[in-house]
Structure 1
């Protein structure tokens, strides 16, 4: 009898573990469109004049229509240094049937300051869409 309970407990534990790891989409709200993570670290080469950094915007589900989001990069010009990074385009379209789209940030590593943070917000252009934010920390290699 003790052996039966032991096997039943192990089976129950295994099934609970499988259910807990079932679906990654449950981490996001339904109809979520935004960044995959809220923070990221980018390692740049200080010797380079210019580098490009790809940023991915994801959607939880595929849709039959295109979805457009507005990207906004928050930056303050540092006196004497100027603009360190810029977004290549401020609107991004996730095509119908797709779950992601990418945009690029052009970075000037020679002007970058160690530990500087790029803050980007992604706002869906439809009613009810929630803004998501991404913070990218810049670190030299």
Structure 2
């Protein structure tokens, strides 16, 4: 399976789903979907097991949505592990595409059983309803409360 979860607001993808076609790139461009960064050669690439894609009109909104999504994902962990840090190697960053990370004790997994709440989260992220905005803000603040970048 190439996709783990996909909505209009965000997606979790396996590396095999990151293709030239999906990104709108010319097939002649070098692409390494299982490495971060996926476009640069010879710059200390890190192995990637999945991608979080956030769709937003600005970088600032993408960062807020990312915090909301990762805050919600963190709530799937056992309660006693939500604020623990494993000390394992962490990497991350951002790849911005246009038409012109916190270490956990265990890997977070997204499965078919998670699709209902992820779909609800996707709806809340784009909603203008006051209650939905408050829910997203709470998840964003939960994520931002972690002391590590």
TM-score interval, smaller chain: under 0.3
Higher relative contact order (CA 8 A, sep 6+): 1
Using the size of structure 1 for normalisation, the TM-score is 0.25
**Structure 2 length-normalised TM:** 0.24
Q: Which has a greater percent of strand?
A: 1
Instruction: Point out the structure with max Rg over C-alpha.
Output: 1
Larger % of helix: which? 2
